[in-house]
Structures are given as C-alpha cells and as structure tokens.
Structure 1
C-alpha cells in the first residue's frame, strides 16, 4: 500500500484517492486530485508542465487551460492560492513543486477496514453539499409548485432549469453530479426543476416557453436575489436569454452552454430540414410514449455520443425518473418551437457562449447564431461531441476554467 502524507491539517491517501482535512473528507475533482498526488509524491523536485500533462491526462490532448484549472482546483483544496503558493509553488519557466512541509505517515501494507485478498476497497467520494442541500418550493401564478435548492457558499450563480433534472437524484448520477460540484465550488449554486420535471409538479395547467420564463422569475423572487449571473444549458439557454431581456437590471452576466436561439422546426431552412425535424419529433413521440428501450438508447447517444454503454444506460434510467412519458413528449414539442432570435439582440449584459464544436444534439451553428445576435458576447468552442459534457473529457476542465475566468474568480 502507498504511503499517506500529512501537511498542515491535511492527509493525502493516494491509494484510496482521498484527501482529508482534520479527519473530514475533502472533495476534489478526480484530475485535480491526481495532479496533487503526483506533486506530493515528487515533492523533492520541480515537476514540468509536460510531465503533469503526461501523467494526469495521458495521451489525451488538452490545452494549458485544463492544467491551469487543475492546479487552481488542487490549490484551493489544500487552502492555497496562486498568489500565496504556500503549498504548490510555480517555478517560472520550469514547472511546479509541492513545498508544504510533509510527513509520511504510513508506508507498506497495513490492515484496514475493507481489505480483502490484498486489496483495499475505495469509499465513494463525497460531494459538495449533497447531504446539506435544502429543497424548498414556491408557487407560480397558476399554482404550479416549483422546487428549488441552493448549495455551496460565496457569490450566487443561478442556473435556469432545463430538461431532465432532479434536485435530489442529480447528486448520484454521472450525468449531472460533476456539474454540481464544479459549479458550486466557491459559489452558491441555485437551481430548480422546471414544471413537469424532477421535484416540481408533474401536472400543470400548461408547459409553454413563457411559463418557463415566468417560473424562473418566480424562483428569483423566492430566493430574494437582486443582481446575479445566470447560466442557461441547452433549452435553458433560450429561457435565460428571454429572462435577461425581461429583467436586464437583475442579470449581471449571462452564460449559455450548448444553447440555441431557435428550435429545430423553427430553424429548418428548407423542405428537407422541415421533414427531418418532423420525423425526429414523430420518432421521439412514439419512443417516449412507449418507453421503447431501443429509441431511448439512441436518444441517450445523441446527448452523449462519446459516452460508454454504461453511461447511456445511466442516462436512460435517469431520464425515466425525471418526468412522465407524456411530459417528455410535451417538452420535445415545445423545444422545437423555441425562438428568441428576435429578442436576443436586446441582451445588455456581457455574455459567454460555450459550445461543443461537434455537438451531436445542437449544431455549433446555433452557438454562432447566438454570438452574432447578442451584442456583448464571446464564443468559446470546446473539443467535444457531447451535448452534456462528461467529467472524464478534457473539455470539462476547460468549461469550468472559462466560467471562472468570465465571472472574474
């Protein structure tokens, strides 16, 4: 068994892939923890950038932004900063070195709970705030109950609702768990389930785009937010755009991820595209109403084309628990009719548009359209095919880096 290292109030156990502070587990993103482990193990020397990229990311191509994000996350996890550098020091033009006074607590095999046939079982990694999250409810004007929750501490970031969310179950699914941990670090992340989905009422008088925008405003009022940055993912991006236009005095910055201004039926430019959009909706209607396993698997692969069969299975199981088949059809029909292209030019706040370059669900042309429509906007394209970025791809680290940079943290 590998050694365990102590520095200050912290203990790092590489064999169990765990960092503890005063006995309590500290959650660290997997790659950032791998980076920290490598620096601590080789604390007797300077570790170059290339070595870290090779050891932590292997043969994946990643930009220096991913390394910068990983170092920042590792530093924050051990109470360090880029300016203090009491634990991880940057050596100009040479690399990085772990300089915190370190004691080796254990080396060699040691009997521990969970040890079977010479191996040690790894406990599940804790997540930020999963057990401290408080779910509350507010009522829309038509009486629909909307569930919302806040987690983390620091300046607020409000995430507009999008399809296939569940305030409680999200913590346990690889579809969303890394999103929550990444977005809630050093912030208070506020999110809610849209009507017909998750822990909000599944039965509502209507499920229109205007209802979604109204529900966002209801949550803002319930939480008591004054001025805040707003994140919109997928169709939640159009909702966020509409709200930013409606309440410019409240939205300080806008982040649009995998978003679009016009739904598939609206943006169809010719008869062939219109027929394809209609066929896609017809297949989705039949597949969702009958919960056809073959369709649901194909549907999952559209969101996660580079996902594994296990991730597709998890995605399918999660979507079944987030809404009813009837609501799934309602959502898809409404998504196809979305159109904020005539109001996007009225967004007044700085806007960051992030999109996977080869998004298989929402084409990158939609991100370019948003960037052309919104005056004070900038577009960042990531090397990915996934509509919902996964924790294992390098694009995820870059996604968080750009958000942190845009929000000035």
Structure 2
C-alpha cells in the first residue's frame, strides 16, 4: 500500500557519463563500483539516508532530515574530488547533485512525487562537482551546519510550476563540525570589572590578532554557539583571529543586579573588557546597537581602534527618529518586554527572533526565543530596550577617523536600511554594502552570509595591514 511522507531527496549523476563510457566502459564501471561501495553507500548510511535506486549513471537517495542530506552531499563531493583520474590520468570523475524536500509517495520501496522531480532538475542544472539546493532545504536544515551556501538566484525549470530560489554548496570552503565543537568546548569564561564595580563575563576563542565584539542586544556566553545570529560569526572569526566577546551588564553570565544601565556604561564596559583581555588596539565587530557603542568608543578612545565592522547598525534609536510611528513602537516594545518577556508561551520573544533572523529555520528561531528568557530578566530587558531606543550618535560620527565597514540588509525589519545608509554617510571613512535579505543579522543559511563573511575578512585584513 502506498504511503506519503515528508522527505529530503538527493539526486546525483555522473558528469559526461556517455562520453566516458565510449572512452572505456570497463574502467568506468569499475571506478563507479568502487565509488559506490567505498564512498557513496557508507556516507549515505552514516547520515541516516537510504539509496532508493541506482540508475547506471546516478542515484536517488532519501533522507528524513534536510540537514543529513546536505551533509551527505557535501561529504561525498569532498571525497570524489580526491578520486584518482581515469584513462591514464586524462579524465576526472565528477558528480553533480541536487537536493529538494517535500511530500513523496512510497510504494514497494520506490518513491515518487514533486520533491523527486525538483531534486532531479536541480541536479541537472548543477555544475560538475557542485550541489544545488532549494531555499526550502536550507530553511529546514537550520543553522550550525559546517557548510557555506552561495546564492544562485531564482530559476524556472521545465514542468515545475513556480520559480525556485537556488543556492549552491561551496564545497571547497566546507568547515568541520568537530572543529566548531572544539572551539565551543575550548573557551573559558573570565571576568572583567567595570568602573562602577559590575563584573562582566568575557571569553576569547581562536588565535591571531584580536577582534572585539561590542555589546549588542542580549546574550549568554555559554549559549552563543547555539544561537542562529552568532554561532557562524564566532566560528568564522575564530578561525583567523582571537575573537573576544562578552555579556553586557545585566545579561547572561555578567552581573544581573546592577546599579545602572546607560549608553555611557556600555562604552565603559567595552573599555573594561579591552583592558582585561590586554588588548591595546584592535578592530571592533558591532552588531545592531553595538555599532553605535563601537562608534562612541572610537570617538572616546581613538588610539585603541583600528577599524569597525558594523552589521545592522543605526545611529538613531527608535525614540530619536523623526517618524512618530517609530517612537510609538519604541514605547510599546518597552512595555511589552516588561510585562510579557518571561511568558511560558514566548509570543514576544518569537517576534524578536523572527525580526532578527527571519531566514533561520523554524526550529532555530524557536530555540532562540526560548534561550532569550534565560539571558535576561523582564525588568532589565525593558530598561535595556529604553537605552537602545534613546541612542543618538549622529553628532560624533563625523569625528571618527577609523575605517568602518557598514553592512546592512535591504529588507531589515528591525532597523531599516536607511539607518545603515545614514550611519555610513556621517562617517568620514566608511564603506557601505547592502545585501538582498530580510535579516537584521544574517543566519548561516542566509544566501547573503558567504558574501558578508568574505567582505568582513577582507576588511579585517586591511585593518591588520594598517
């Protein structure tokens, strides 16, 4: 009896199969037999997949998890790249792959349905050695994958009714999940004392020249590697730098019973972490309100700043913006946070997660919303929100001489791209880059993340050289 279920489908085939058969049938079939026995089947099994059928030059593989399908395809392509050449080293053996997810019908071990058809279309369009995946797959796979995606745009396929947003896996830039896990396990928590006695939890991961993250939104150091807006930033930056970050006062593992929260204390807390980490001069990573904090720090301590990366920043908090609707929204959010922050049903925190990382998977956003309750109390988050809404650094920006990289998504629903543009226009040495995304802070599966990551690394290299 036929059954229906939700599956992720991986379609693969051999590039130039007919031509290779003509050059040497026996040698090709032997190489494919070895490849399927030693690489494809073991990797599929390791990722809990099922080879549904072999088709001479390819295969259809079913997975219950989009994450498993992506990891399997990536690992197979990595291994195939090292397979010895055929025909006296005159030909390489290449696979191309496509992954899609959806309902399938299962009958007598075989599978049918649109997910299979779309996966096959993606596979046919993929380049040699490449993997094309649908946006749906990256959404279902969630963050934390040791994989980078590149946006391939929107494509139409024959007999597929709706256009599909396609991404490719950047196989030669694939990281290692165990390496990321080792980074998480390898850091220790230390404490810095701010000028008013507040103890600030901080940590450093990686080796190399330092990069310091300014305080932004809310956090908790022992949760960072599970958060869809932070984990990939930490892993990427710690690969090439000593990445220093801390929980802001009232947050996470820092002191929660605090005498004061103000924009000025945020600047002073950043200085305290610079001193505790023995950093004389370094670039700062600012995210959201951390961009304004970093700018103010650069104005006050210019000798300690070699550059600022600003992601989703704003020079004017909502209460300071000329639009009355922004001011009303600021007041409403402060009240909602005070009375509804720790509700068992996290509707307010769900809304915040949706605004910060809208392209993260549903599961990642849900976990982010749950984690926020453990980061800060309702009273502190309401006060913290009020300080953020009152930010105005427009007067000091023209005096900042440090180079700045201002990055903003054009569909940012938390702080609109106009705020990023205003920030860049007031800074004397700013480069402004926008991305086609609705994210406030891009998640790992956001198509713009690889582009943003590369831009950040180029900028930090320039900071090191200066």
For this structure pair, what is the TM-score category when the shorter chain's length is used for normalisation? 0.7 to 0.9
SS in 2 for 1:196: coil
Higher mean Cα deviation, 282-291 or 337-346?
Answer: 282-291
- 1:316 has 2:369 as partner: yes
Is 1:261 matched with 2:300?
no
Deviation, 1:397, is: 1.2
Q: In 2, Cα distance between the equivalents of 1:134 and 1:52?
A: 43
The reply to whether residue 246 of structure 1 matches residue 300 of structure 2 is yes
Q: Does 1:127 find its partner at 2:181? A: yes
Secondary structure (helix, strand or coil) at the match of 1:130 reads: helix
Superposition pairs for residues 138-157 of structure 1, below 5 Å? 138-157=192-211
- SS of 2:204's equivalent in the other structure is strand
1:325 is matched with: 378
The 1:173/1:279 distance shift into structure 2, 3 A limit, reads closer
Secondary structure of residue in 1 paired with 2:341: helix
Q: Is the 8 A contact 1:160 1:237 kept in 2?
A: yes
TM-score relative to the length of structure 1: 0.75
2:414 and 2:151 map into 1 onto residues whose CA distance is 23
Query: Given the superposition, is the C-alpha separation of residues 304 and 54 from structure 1 closer, same or farther in structure 2, using an over 3 Å criterion?
Result: farther
Query: Does residue 1:371 correspond to 2:434, yes or no?
Result: no
Within a 5 Å distance, the mapping from 1:299-310 to structure 2 comes to: 299-310=352-363
Give distance in 2, aligned partners of 1:359 and 1:54.
34
Change (3 A) 1:142 1:159: same
Q: State the secondary structure of the residue aligned to 1:322.
A: coil
User: Structure 1: which 5+ runs fail to align?
Assistant: 6-11, 18-29, 79-122
CA distance in 1, matches of 2:424, 2:306: 18
- Counterparts in 2 of 1:98-137, with a 5 A limit? 126-137=180-191
Alignment of 1:73 with 2:173, yes or no, is yes
Q: Is the 8 A contact 2:317 2:389 kept in 1?
A: yes
Deviation, structure 1 residue 200: 0.6
Determine the C-alpha separation between the residues in 2 that align with 1:198 and 1:180.
17
Q: CA deviation at 1:53?
A: 9.4
Report the more deviating stretch, 297-306 or 127-136. 297-306
Deviations 1:213-271 (A, max 9, x none): 0000011111111221111111111110101111111111110011111100101x243
| Aligned twin of 2:279 | 225
Aligned in 2, Cα 1:143/1:350: closer, same or farther, shift over 3 Å?
same
> C-alpha displacement at 1:184, in angstroms?
1.1
Separation of aligned partners in 2, 1:170 and 1:263: 25
Asked if the contact 1:157/1:187 (under 8 Å) is kept, the reply is yes
- Change in Cα spacing, 1:345 to 1:237, as seen in structure 2 (3 Å) is same
Residue 3 of structure 1 pairs with residue 3 of structure 2: no
Q: Which runs of 5+ in 2 are unaligned?
A: 1-35, 48-68, 86-91, 97-124, 136-149, 154-166
1:401 paired to 2:436 = no
Hey, what's the Cα distance between the residues in 1 that align with 2:350 and 2:369? 7
Report the alpha carbon displacement of residue 380 of structure 1 after superposing the two structures with TM. 1.1
Q: What's the C-alpha RMSD, in Å, of the aligned pairs? A: 3.3
- Aligned positions of 1:351-366 closer than 5 A: 351-366=404-419
2:211–2:284 Cα contact (<8 Å) kept: yes
8 Å contact from structure 2 (residues 74, 169) kept in 1? no
Deviates further, 165-174 or 240-249: 165-174
C-alpha separation in 2, matches of 1:355 and 1:53: 33
Pair member with larger Rg: 2
Q: Residue 105 of structure 1 aligns with which residue?
A: none
Q: 1:330 to 1:292 in 2, by over 3 A?
A: farther
Tell me the distance in 1 between the aligned counterparts of 2:390 and 2:448.
30
Against the structure 1 CA distance between its residues 273 and 254, is the aligned structure 2 distance closer, same or farther, given a 3 Å change threshold?
closer
Question: What is the distance in 2 between the residues matched to 1:130 and 1:63?
Answer: 31
Query: Judging changes above 3 Å, is the alpha-carbon distance between structure 1 residues 230 and 53 closer, same or farther for their aligned structure 2 residues?
Result: farther
Deviates more, 1:208-217 or 1:290-299: 290-299
Which has the higher mean CA deviation after the structures are superposed, 133-142 or 212-221?
133-142
1:346 aligned to 391, 399, 413, which one?
Answer: 399
Contact kept? 1:241, 1:344, Cα under 8 Å:
yes
Counterpart residue number, 1:277? 330
1:351-406 CA distance string (max 9 Å, x none): 10111110111111110001101111111112211212111122111121111111
Deviation at 1:282? Answer: 3.0
C-alpha contact 1:289 1:326 (8 A) present in aligned 2: no
- 1:48 CA drift (Å): 11
Q: Could you list the per-position Cα deviations for residues 33-78 of structure 1 after superposition, in whole angstroms to 9, with x for gaps in the alignment? A: 96574253155438799845994342457269xx99946634xx69
Taking the aligned partners of 1:223 and 1:248, their CA distance within structure 2 comes to: 18
Asked if the contact 1:128/1:181 (under 8 Å) is kept, the reply is: no
The 8 Å contact of residues 219 and 252 in structure 2, kept in 1 or not, is answered as: yes
| Alignment deviations for residues 164-189 of structure 1 (CA, whole Å, 9 cap, x no partner) | 21111212344432221122111111
Query: 1:298, CA displacement in angstroms?
Result: 2.1
Tell me the TM-score normalised to structure 2 length. Answer: 0.66
Pick which of 337-346 and 310-319 moved more.
310-319
CA–CA distance in structure 1, aligned partners of residues 459 and 127 of structure 2: 25
